[in-house]
Structure 1
């Protein structure tokens, strides 16, 4: 159980070939390296893009209410006062209460079934918002959409951890979560196209927007049940060769995936008592408050800068495009240097710069640049944090619950982000920007403190136990059954 998991130790797993014999896979050397390269390429072309596509529609359905607002949602559903902001908050209420239950379901049913079924259900909720005629109908749809959307967000990093080693996770998670930034840009383009090119006698533009973005989600959910890989052991013969499948299983087991218990109560308690999760949750709380406000209110913020409704939809695209580039670049660097915390701190500092520009200047161009810096700083932190938590928790249940805790606390405080722009000082949101700036500073401070904590613990283990050693899958399983998890003397934390 070492942090330097680039060195793989193959276990003696025998798989049957198509002819009924056993497949011999070399444990090292150029031939094994070639098999690993082919396997990762196939996974990179199937698993990661497909998860990214699913999360693209997840983010589209979650964030399209901000675009729908500019297209007449409030008038169409007869919203008054703070009802729009309250409708935003109800999504996060539903999302929060279903985090940990969804992680339990991930262990009870296959990932493809959980993700596929919940995707169909949130697609139905998203589409049904087009039929909302009142505040209560909109709130109900948003609440249940939050309940079902929690099926994919926390599950995806766990699924990826079955197929990739620890130092390979951030880049793949970035490709997955990068689609949420692309969704922001894509959603703006769709909203602009609906507002300028589509007209319907009975359906308003905001209703068309919900329908156009909701129906494909339902179709993808049905496909997911049959197409999404569940684990290396279930990879199909048409997708990988017997040699590649064996290597996939071996890599998964060297990545601390040896436990097969559906739900380990000891791992659940270990996750709840783990002090590392306090640091992680504090960082994620600091992220979700500005992030929730940004995704929901960017169209409104851009409009207040002086753009028309249709132009405001279009002008939301560049900030997300800048963020997408940063997500890929930062997470590639994080994997390359095997560093998470310092990358989080640097990204949070960029977001701080953005909010300082938004607060300090009344110049439209400076404000727009600030909005771009905020997106460039916030969005890379999502895959960095999810990878960091997955890296530092051993055991399926402990890893899943830790990620669920991260999302639960983060989404609880995301409701704050939906309320802080109620009373703007046109064209400035001093209170909203100030609150977001404060929490981005919290991220900088806590992430640096967390790095120090983990480095000190790694140094302590080096001093007490000596250099870490590679553990066989059997030794890993024994450690899991003994309740040791990431406290094992040979485990070193990603910092």
Structure 2
């Protein structure tokens, strides 16, 4: 039986990792479920006294320095690690252990030269048969090899983009076209990293080959067969191979593989030339490494390959010797691929299971039943290829392995938006603009990023992970986090707007809030609220939302409780101001936290759910106020003071729960299993791959996020709508009471419209995600609010039932479109910095409506509140006008860009400067 981990004590492979708290790449070894921080171990003197060890070798961002040390040094390092991890060492372990689910893997070595071989006899025979040829005579005398591109190297987990190339389609009118590859394939290989260099001009003796090998990885040599078919003659592959080469992140060392050395399984005939003939014990000629490859497509797994390294015709030692047989020299960190490792193995039903690519499956005798049933020919966008390698230790009986080598296929660039389709060009800009499906629209958005080391990730249809497992993780996030965030937002709103309920229970009279003093008390909160939103969100990122959000909840809960003790209006003003200080960071902070756990296309409905707490506060807050006001007086606490004391107490309790339950990120969610943590982290890595993981915040992008027309439209649209929502949340009990209902009944009647608004907000968010539209949803919803406000204004006071019924149009019509303004702004921002600035601006400008809201409904306007209703009516029209204006602008601007009228901004700019244009680049398309 295989162990649950590929990294038991028998293995201890090396890699390079970084962590969220320390993004600096450094060397590590993998053991069970942990990455052992070798840099920290070395700084603490763990490797002192080992002959040949180089100070600081493990603090480097690559393993080259360590790999260049003598093999005796490497053997002693490994032995010392084995003793340490087996418990023989007295050194403290905890600070060196990094959960694998929390680390980011990087390419393990700096590679100057990459070559790829063609050394499987089964593979060569099948490929030759497809072309109607025999295996070339020279193939049996030299290991066939070509020089690849180191720029193609990707670490496992990074997506691979479908390439463009020159293709000759059979029967096509043109002999060649430049188009997307339609026949994308994988090749299951192993990669060999080199350690000891060989000076140029020297020739490698095979007897010394072992001392030049550092270790092995699994290697996927992605291949575009249609591009390869046209470009192969006469010089061999180039673009068909150079777009991507994925390797597993952990290098299994030559020492760890010693126990699985074995003879070759295929005799070499004719015998190799003398310099390629194996001169050692034949039982050590190669390695017994069992390899497999499977394809994950739309949640279904296809097991394609089961093969073994020992089935290569030319062994890795022979390949290495040939590589250095003409004096080219070798460098530490050089990598070569073994070539596709196919064999003639049959599975239980007589099918060939050992073929290590899809090309070989083109022969009728090589087809698999599962491929025939589902018409699996070549890789489609969204397919994921997962490769594994395992060894059986002959002495311990335990399996050890290489970890997974996996990657998902993402669509080819739509170069028609970047280049002249009549010209066959492929500029450096085109090759580095990564297109990401916009969260909200059918239009593809282009994420312009500077860090060319990042390959863009998948969309909702192109996910790396098994969707069933992914949905299990999402459900846990929904149950544990989304529920908690929604309740936090609910009580944030309740503590903010309960002053409207307290007003009906005597607060105004007890504190002497005559005239406009009540409105001043309302405004005090929103002044501080608006002032702290942006800086508070920055603090949230610095401190960590898992600490910062609960701290805010604790503080506003305490302030709410203290409000129950105020005796004068000055005390109320102070409490309201402080409440704004601590509540101002809640909404943007929760948006920030949601983005840590959910993919972009999952955020729309969940943002609506958590923001619907503002509607729920109007419903739940009214019921809660009625119940709390009936608690008999105790000490100084009575009637309206009960509302503040007990609602604040609930917030304090909620803060304690939040401290316990909110994780810093998916990797630290205690309610997930270790495998689920890895899935959760992978989900977000894929989803955020369109941005630079450690990109710097640039002032020009901040300015762009604050000044682009779509963001300004969204900000003012949100401002108009939020002013209406805040006004109604503060005054709805008073408005209903003025219709002729008792104060207690007015509080009860305020529940219905807000309960309806809560449900409708969630439904609207779901529909917006489902049909990928923000603008048209806002356009459709706002008229309901306008109609409701019109009825409130013009219906006579003699029809209180009809006026109350109008609230069921007005309240949902106001509250359900607000989340869409924020989502629309983020959808039309290109880079992370622009998105952060855009969302911050929309929140800040929208919150200014909170300052205006207390002055919409004035005491002198009662009981009809015509002036207030007119203002609300006008503001809803303003929000609707912003929506119409933005739709028209986007349609016009996208059309202008499609006609090439914005291409002039590229003149005189280099590739780097063009990338800095972000959403102002002519290739970017805004989403409606």
TM-score computed with the length of structure 2 as normaliser: 0.48
1:153 aligns with 2:534: no
Structure 1: which 5+ runs fail to align? 1-7, 466-477
Structure 2: which 5+ runs fail to align? 1-156, 161-245, 251-399, 409-461, 902-910
Cα–Cα, structure 1 residues 268 and 481, in superposed 2: closer, same or farther, change >3 Å? farther
Partner of 1:5: none
More moved, 217-226 vs 444-453: 217-226
Cα–Cα, structure 1 residues 251 and 487, in superposed 2: closer, same or farther, change >3 Å? farther
Please report how far the alpha carbon of residue 162 of structure 1 lies from its aligned counterpart in structure 2 after TM superposition: 3.5
CA distance in 2, matches of 1:289, 1:203: 33
1:154 is paired with a residue whose SS is helix
Alignment of 1:45-444 (within 5 A): 45-236=479-670, 238-239=672-673, 241=675, 242-254=677-689, 256-260=690-694, 263-362=697-796, 363-444=799-880
CA distance in 1, matches of 2:892, 2:551: 43
1:131 is paired with a residue whose SS is coil
1:22 aligns with 2:455: no
Cα–Cα, structure 1 residues 22 and 413, in superposed 2: closer, same or farther, change >3 Å? same
CA distance in 1, matches of 2:892, 2:750: 43
Work out whether residues 158 and 407 of structure 2, in 8 Å CA contact, stay in contact via their aligned partners in 1: no
1:203 is paired with a residue whose SS is coil
Partner of 1:10: 159
Please report how far the alpha carbon of residue 246 of structure 1 lies from its aligned counterpart in structure 2 after TM superposition: 4.1
Q: Deviations over 1:141-185 (max 9, x none)?
A: 111111111112112223323333433321110111112211211
Work out whether residues 533 and 584 of structure 2, in 8 Å CA contact, stay in contact via their aligned partners in 1: yes
Please report how far the alpha carbon of residue 202 of structure 1 lies from its aligned counterpart in structure 2 after TM superposition: 3.0
Work out whether residues 778 and 817 of structure 2, in 8 Å CA contact, stay in contact via their aligned partners in 1: yes
1:486 aligns with 2:919: yes
Please report how far the alpha carbon of residue 104 of structure 1 lies from its aligned counterpart in structure 2 after TM superposition: 1.9
Work out whether residues 633 and 639 of structure 2, in 8 Å CA contact, stay in contact via their aligned partners in 1: yes
Cα–Cα, structure 1 residues 494 and 78, in superposed 2: closer, same or farther, change >3 Å? same
Please report how far the alpha carbon of residue 423 of structure 1 lies from its aligned counterpart in structure 2 after TM superposition: 4.0
Work out whether residues 726 and 849 of structure 2, in 8 Å CA contact, stay in contact via their aligned partners in 1: no
1:418 is paired with a residue whose SS is helix
CA distance in 2, matches of 1:365, 1:437: 20
CA distance in 1, matches of 2:663, 2:923: 31
2:711 is paired with a residue whose SS is helix
More moved, 181-190 vs 234-243: 234-243
Q: Deviations over 1:84-111 (max 9, x none)?
A: 1110011110111111111221332212
2:564 is paired with a residue whose SS is helix
CA distance in 1, matches of 2:629, 2:249: 56
| Greater RCO (CA < 8 Å, at least 6 residues apart) | 1
Work out whether residues 293 and 420 of structure 1, in 8 Å CA contact, stay in contact via their aligned partners in 2: yes
CA distance in 2, matches of 1:249, 1:479: 27
CA distance in 1, matches of 2:926, 2:463: 28
Please report how far the alpha carbon of residue 257 of structure 1 lies from its aligned counterpart in structure 2 after TM superposition: 4.7
Work out whether residues 36 and 247 of structure 1, in 8 Å CA contact, stay in contact via their aligned partners in 2: no
Work out whether residues 470 and 680 of structure 2, in 8 Å CA contact, stay in contact via their aligned partners in 1: no
Partner of 1:454: 890
Please report how far the alpha carbon of residue 426 of structure 1 lies from its aligned counterpart in structure 2 after TM superposition: 4.2
1:260 is paired with a residue whose SS is coil
Please report how far the alpha carbon of residue 25 of structure 1 lies from its aligned counterpart in structure 2 after TM superposition: 5.1
Cα–Cα, structure 1 residues 20 and 79, in superposed 2: closer, same or farther, change >3 Å? farther
CA distance in 2, matches of 1:137, 1:265: 41
Q: Deviations over 1:273-292 (max 9, x none)?
A: 32222101110121122112
Q: Aligned Cα RMSD in Å? A: 3.0
Cα–Cα, structure 1 residues 370 and 237, in superposed 2: closer, same or farther, change >3 Å? closer
Between Structure 1 and Structure 2, the one with more helix by share is: 1
2:694 is paired with a residue whose SS is coil
Cα–Cα, structure 1 residues 383 and 191, in superposed 2: closer, same or farther, change >3 Å? same
Work out whether residues 424 and 430 of structure 1, in 8 Å CA contact, stay in contact via their aligned partners in 2: no
TM-score computed with the length of structure 1 as normaliser: 0.87
Please report how far the alpha carbon of residue 493 of structure 1 lies from its aligned counterpart in structure 2 after TM superposition: 2.9
Between Structure 1 and Structure 2, the one with more strand by share is: 2
Work out whether residues 95 and 146 of structure 1, in 8 Å CA contact, stay in contact via their aligned partners in 2: yes
How many residues matched? Answer: 475
Partner of 1:470: none
CA distance in 2, matches of 1:257, 1:133: 53
2:855 is paired with a residue whose SS is coil
1:80 is paired with a residue whose SS is coil
CA distance in 2, matches of 1:314, 1:112: 36
CA distance in 2, matches of 1:15, 1:334: 39
CA distance in 2, matches of 1:30, 1:402: 29
Work out whether residues 630 and 639 of structure 2, in 8 Å CA contact, stay in contact via their aligned partners in 1: no
CA distance in 2, matches of 1:121, 1:444: 37
